[in-house]
Amino acid sequence: MKRENVFLNLDLSDLSVQPGALHIDNKIILIDNLDDVADEENTNSLSFANYPMKLSFTIGLIVLSGGMKVKINLGDFEARAGDAIVVFKGNIGEFCSLLPDTRMVVIAFSDELFDVVKHINTALSIQQYIYTNPVFHLDEEFLDEALDIYKKMKAKMTDTNNIFLEGILHGYAQVLMYSAYNYFAQRKKNTDNSLECNRNQEIYKLFMQTVQKNYMHERSITYYAGVLCLSPKYLSQVIKNVTGRLASEWIADYVILEAKALLKSNKYTVQQVCDMLNFANQSFFGKYFKRKTGVSPKAYIKS
């Protein structure tokens, strides 16, 4: 019998023990080796586990010199100077090798640090793009902007006497992430205009368009497979091959982001949100929401 892969979870608390790591309550972690002395005897201070780990946070790396090889969702990737790597929460990452002269910066953060519920369709569209393109080259202008913000965050991180430190870092993180999302949106637009989709990519595109139109009342893969005139098994296989994620995970992303937006709007009760998203009852909705987010709908409203 073939044994399924079982992956260990990597938490922000695990990453915070890296040498030189700076963090605020394990909500955001900054790590770099920019100040390391480069010589033949000195290897990089950064080290990562060389086995597959399922991330419980989102992480971004910018390689400034040298290079590294990684596996993301079991696919092989290589990053060189000027490249960025982005791995979202729930994905599988594995460090393979690092060149001795590699210099990089790393930013990792929890979901609560960056909320995109006001831009659901744009955010998910960009996430879809990054899932299939986790390693990409940055243009010089955006690279300089990202490094400038990172250095400002790092400088503030050491100001432990500042009672507004977390809010300041949260603001910097918002600026960085919104700038990054805008950068990716323009990049994705150019890519969409220049590449022809193969059959699998076309199915994936149609699937996502169908989910965007129907997620508020349909969560079943069988439904979406029927709309696309495919078998549920085949549809699931195609989406998994193209994105590295299950079709059900994409559907859940839309449902949960919509639920978060509705709950935080303070316009609707939990029961009303439950009805709007076509759940059988409030109990089922509560269990679904907590399974996906770790908190109940009422606890999320108060957070």
Where does a domain end: 194, 212, 227?
194
> Which of 92, 57, 58, 56 is closest to 77 using CA atoms?
92
Where does a domain end: 149, 169, 194?
194
Residues 35 and 161 in one domain: yes
Q: Give, as one character, the DSSP assignment of residue 7.
A: -
Q: How much is the pTM?
A: 0.69
Q: Does residue 52 belong to any structural domain of this protein? A: yes
Where does a domain end: 145, 170, 194?
194
- Write the CATH number for 142: 2.60.120.10
Residues 30 and 162 in one domain: yes
- Beta strands across the sheet bearing 83-87: 22-24, 28-32, 103-109, 58-65, 83-87, 135-137
Domains contained in the chain, number = 2
The two tokens of residue 226 are 């029927």
Residues 95 and 232 in one domain: no
Question: 161-203, pLDDT tens digit by residue?
Answer: 888 988 888 888 888 888 888 888 777 766 665 544 577 878 8
Asked which of 167-181, 195-209, 211-225, 262-276 is least confident by mean pLDDT, the reply is: 195-209
CA distance 231 to 233: 5
Q: Does residue 2 belong to any structural domain of this protein? A: no
Q: Does residue 1 belong to any structural domain of this protein? A: no
Residues 52 and 144 in one domain: yes
Q: Which domain holds residue 23?
A: 8-194
